[in-house]
């Protein structure tokens, strides 16, 4: 649970560790509630330990904290662009708890990812945003991000994924 920070709150960004799994899960659940998708959130601490810190980590996490309290996070994984012939960053989730909004944390988290991309020689940072989230869209566009209007995201999950996964070519 978050409380309202003072005007002089000092925020620190750091790479998450296995000990941060409860904080990561709290961020994921906060985001799911904000996006009105809590009913789809089945993440658990054991799953996060395995998928983020197990033998084959699937993603990386940057936490924003203040006074030992989690304020927000960015969870991302490496993507690849065949056109650029370079890796990139796909930002899966960016979330700042409501009590910590308005302090520039979203910008700082995205700047951290941009810096990571530049340092690693990656070609881009990309993400998706819900159409109804006009505040996020305005924020992203204020940073110079552009919508990819010619593209539609598709997803296979659940029964459709399982059915196709067992089908023979």
- Tell me, what DSSP letter sits at residue 98? G
What is the β-pairing status of strands 86-96 and 125-127?
Answer: parallel
Closest by CA position to 93, among listed 56, 52, 54: 52
**11, 90, 122, 140: which one is catalytic?**
140
Q: In angstroms, how far is CA 67 from the centroid of its own chain?
A: 22
Cβ-contact 24, 122 below 8 angstroms: no
Dist. CA 11–CA 107, nearest whole Å: 12
Has 140 been annotated as catalytic?
yes
Q: Within 13 Å and on the Cβ side, how many CA atoms surround 157?
A: 3
| 74-79 long-range contacts, CB within 8 A, separation 24+ | 74/109, 74/110, 74/112, 74/113, 75/24, 75/27, 75/28, 76/113, 78/122, 79/126
Query: Active-site positions?
Result: 140
């Amino acid at each position: 649970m978050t409380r309202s920070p003072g005007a002089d709150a000092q925020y620190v960004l750091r790479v998450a560790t296995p000990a941060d799994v409860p904080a990561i899960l709290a961020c994921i659940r906060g985001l799911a509630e904000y996006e009105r998708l809590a009913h789809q959130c089945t993440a658990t601490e054991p799953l996060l330990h395995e998928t983020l810190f197990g033998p084959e980590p699937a993603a990386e996490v940057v936490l924003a904290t203040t006074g030992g309290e989690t304020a927000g996070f960015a969870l991302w994984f490496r993507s690849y662009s065949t056109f650029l012939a370079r890796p990139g960053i796909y930002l899966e989730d960016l979330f700042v708890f409501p009590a910590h909004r308005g302090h520039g944390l979203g910008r700082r988290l995205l700047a951290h990812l941009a810096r990571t991309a530049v340092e690693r020689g990656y070609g881009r940072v990309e993400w998706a945003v819900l159409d109804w989230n006009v505040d996020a869209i305005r924020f992203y566009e204020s940073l110079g991000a552009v919508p990819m209007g010619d593209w539609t995201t598709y997803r296979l999950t659940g029964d459709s994924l399982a059915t196709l996964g067992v089908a023979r070519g």
